[in-house]
Amino acid sequence: MEWLKKEMVSHMNFNHRIHLNGIGTFSLSIGLKPVVDEDGTVHKRIVTDPNDITGNEVEVTGINFVPDKEFLDYAKQQLVYFENSAPRGSVGHSEWHEGEKLRQEVIEYLTEHKYLTCPLFMKLWHVTRYRAEQILSQFCEGEDAILVRQQQANTIFYYLK
C-alpha cells in the first residue's frame, strides 16, 4: 500500500491525474493560500488579475476523486442508505425498535432465511452499523441468546441457535 501512495503523490506532483481502472480518477485540488492581516485575522485571498498569482501563493487544498461508473454502481448495491423519516437532522441515526418485538422479527426472518449479516441487518431494520453490531451481540449473549455467531473469512454470519 505504501508504494501506491508514493506513486500517486509522485504523479500528482506533476499535476497528472491518476486513473485506477474500475475504481476512478484522482487529481489534485489547488487554491490560493489565505492572507493574514496585521491583526492575525485570516482572509480569503482575492485576485482580480491571474497574472498577479505566483507559485508561492498557491497550495494543495485536497485530492479530488471521481469514481468510475462500475465502482459507483457496485458501491450503491453494497452500501446502506438511511431515510429521513424523522425531523431534520436525524439522517444516519437508527430507528427505535422495541426489544421483544425486534427479537421476534429476527426469529421470523431467520426461520425463512438461512442466515443474517450485519449489513443485511442494517438494511432490513434501518439502523447504523454501530447499533446493528450492538443488537446482534446482545442476541448472541446470555441464557436467552437466540443467535449463534460464526465467522467465515471476513464475514460474520448469524444463525438461529
Question: 18: how many CB neighbours lie within 10 A of its CB?
Answer: 19
Domain boundary among 75, 93, 119: 75
pLDDT at site 110 = 92
Kindly calculate the radius of gyration of the chain based on its CA atoms and give it in whole angstroms.
25
Separation between Cα atoms, residue 106 and residue 108, nearest integer Å: 5
Separation between Cα atoms, residue 95 and residue 104, nearest integer Å: 17
Instruction: Give per-residue pLDDT as tens, 42-55.
Output: 888 877 788 878 87
**Which residues of the chain register pLDDT less than 50?**
82, 88-91
pLDDT at site 54 = 80
Q: Are residues 107 and 140 in the same domain?
A: yes
CATH of the domain at 28: 4.10.520.10
Supply the range of the domain harboring residue 155.
Answer: 80-160
Q: Are residues 146 and 86 in the same domain?
A: yes
Separation between Cα atoms, residue 160 and residue 120, nearest integer Å: 15
10, three cell numbers: 509522485
